[in-house]
Structure 1
Amino acid sequence: MDVVGVVALFGLVLVYFAIESSEKKVRSEVSRRIDRLESKVDLLLKQAGLEEPALPREEEILALARSGKKIQAIKVYREVTGAGLAEAKNEVERLT
């Protein structure tokens, strides 16, 4: 491999790591902002004397999770909420 190829490869590696680092910062900032918004919504609900609506099919999800069928519980949770896989897994584990 000639010098130009090595320099080009090195440049591509640097660009890749710069983009990856930037994406992590953006994801972190978005996550932080979502957490703040959720806290504010919770406070508003509390001050208004309202409760968050119950999760549709929550009893079914709980029954599946408690009987060791967490994958099925996650599938139902995703179907009901439209959540992603990681979020659904975390919520099902939190419910049990």
Structure 2
Amino acid sequence: MEIAILILVVAVVLLYSGLESRIKRMERRNARLERKADLILDHLGIRQEEPGLERVTALLRENKKIQAIKVYREVTGADLKDAKEAVDRMDGTRG
């Protein structure tokens, strides 16, 4: 009985590590595709506004970048690094 449990635990650990590896690869691929899509939109001069980001834009106009990053994270669920990069892009394109 103990051998069966041990084999089951080892199988679960191996399965989990394999899934985790696949998920990380998919996340990297998704990030590359998003960067490519952003480059295409920039090249074509198309701005994509996500719903709910009006407040972020308003905060940038008021030079409140940190608050803009916080609101961006709340609206999109992005992590801090992605939110900062997105807000930096938004700040660079505003006129």
Corresponding residue for residue 56 of structure 1: 57
User: Does the CA contact (< 8 Å) of 1:77 and 1:83 recur in 2?
Assistant: yes
Corresponding residue for residue 88 of structure 1: 83
Q: Specify every segment of 5 or more residues in structure 1 that has no aligned partner in the other structure, as ranges.
A: none
Larger Rg over CA atoms: 1
Corresponding residue for residue 5 of structure 1: 5
The number of residues matched between the two structures is 81
Corresponding position: 1:31 with 2:31: yes
Corresponding residue for residue 51 of structure 2: none
Q: Specify every segment of 5 or more residues in structure 2 that has no aligned partner in the other structure, as ranges.
A: 49-55
Change (3 A) 1:91 1:40: closer
Inter-partner Cα distance in structure 1 for 2:31 and 2:43: 19
Change (3 A) 1:91 1:44: closer
What root-mean-square deviation, in Å, do the aligned CA atoms of Structure 1 and Structure 2 show? 2.9
Report the TM-score, using the length of structure 2 for normalisation. Answer: 0.64
Offset of residue 2 of structure 1: 1.1
Corresponding residue for residue 69 of structure 2: 74
Inter-partner Cα distance in structure 1 for 2:61 and 2:72: 11
